[in-house]
Amino acid sequence: MTDVIPQSRALIEKLGVEIDPELLSLALTHRSYSYEHGQIPHNERLEFLGDSVLGLAVTERLFTEHPELDEGSLAKRRAAVVSTVALAEVARGIELGEHILLGRGENMTGGRDKDSILADTMEALIGATYLSVGADAATALVVRLVGPLLEDPERYGAAIDPKTSLQELAASTGRTPPSYSVTAEGPDHDRLFTATVKVGELRTEGTGSSKKQAEMAAALLAWRELSGRA
């Protein structure tokens, strides 16, 4: 079994759990990298597993700690915490983008900061953790990573609908309403959208594989900064 490469050691330390080196490498391998390197295995199967582990861990935590919430409220909170936007936020917090193995095209078009790639890789890491050290350790990792979301109810709304949350926050603090502009680059089958949102003097940017995703990413970043949760 190969050792963890030095660049990934920093990621392991941030995760706080020892993942099998081969599984870690697989979890960080995006489909675009696989395509350019002889169709080597990529992380989508681990992503499938990690999605289930994530959902169960979050569901158990919410069910146990919030007996006052009904089924609908629990489902809403779970949906927010496991959303692409929320997982991408978690991934940026551990600088996951630096470690993902991407194809040249994906790398050149900002793939390391795409919400979808970050969220999918985050799920793959959870799957790799489950296989490496078991369910308990994987559950503990999930709780540790999404803890800020679980402990901050206002983030639920921001994670699900950051544009609405930003608009409401701007109104409640006497700021001008958010305004958005979007640009796109790349071929039609693989467009990268960059959205810029302005709220008063604040200006933030977000990227995504669609106009909507880019605007949501920009809005969430602006919401975090204005709410003091950056």
215 is in an annotated binding site: no
Looking at this protein, which amino acid is placed at residue 61? Answer: R
Q: How far apart are CA 21 and CA 19, in angstroms?
A: 6
Judgement on whether residues 107 and 217 belong to the same structural domain of the protein: no
Judgement on whether residues 166 and 124 belong to the same structural domain of the protein: no
Judgement on whether residues 90 and 149 belong to the same structural domain of the protein: yes
Indicate the residue among 111, 132, 155 that finishes a domain: 155
201 is in an annotated binding site: no
pLDDT digits (tens, 9 = 90+) for 162-173: 899 899 999 999
Contact 62, 77 (CB under 8 A): yes
In a domain, 178, yes or no: yes
In a domain, 3, yes or no: no
Judgement on whether residues 21 and 130 belong to the same structural domain of the protein: yes
Residue 218's domain comprises 162-227
Token look-up 């289930």 returns 52
Q: How many domains does one find in the chain? A: 2
Q: Which has more pLDDT, 111 or 28?
A: 28
Contact 122, 82 (CB under 8 A): no
Region of poorest pLDDT, from 95-109, 141-155, 157-171, 205-219: 141-155
- 108 pLDDT band, cuts 50/70/90, is confident
Largest CA distance in the chain: 58
Q: What global pTM score does this model have?
A: 0.76
pLDDT digits (tens, 9 = 90+) for 35-94: 999 999 999 999 999 999 999 999 999 999 999 999 998 988 888 889 888 898 899 889
CATH code of 220's domain: 3.30.160.20
Judgement on whether residues 213 and 147 belong to the same structural domain of the protein: no
Judgement on whether residues 135 and 196 belong to the same structural domain of the protein: no
Q: How far apart are CA 19 and CA 133, in angstroms?
A: 7
Would you name the residues annotated as active-site residues?
51, 123
Residue of 55, 3, 49 lying closest to 24 (CA atoms): 3
pLDDT above 50: residue 176: yes
In a domain, 55, yes or no: yes
Q: Which has more pLDDT, 7 or 25?
A: 25
Judgement on whether residues 187 and 96 belong to the same structural domain of the protein: no
Judgement on whether residues 117 and 191 belong to the same structural domain of the protein: no
Judgement on whether residues 18 and 55 belong to the same structural domain of the protein: yes
In a domain, 139, yes or no: yes
Indicate the residue among 155, 182, 207 that finishes a domain: 155
Judgement on whether residues 53 and 136 belong to the same structural domain of the protein: yes
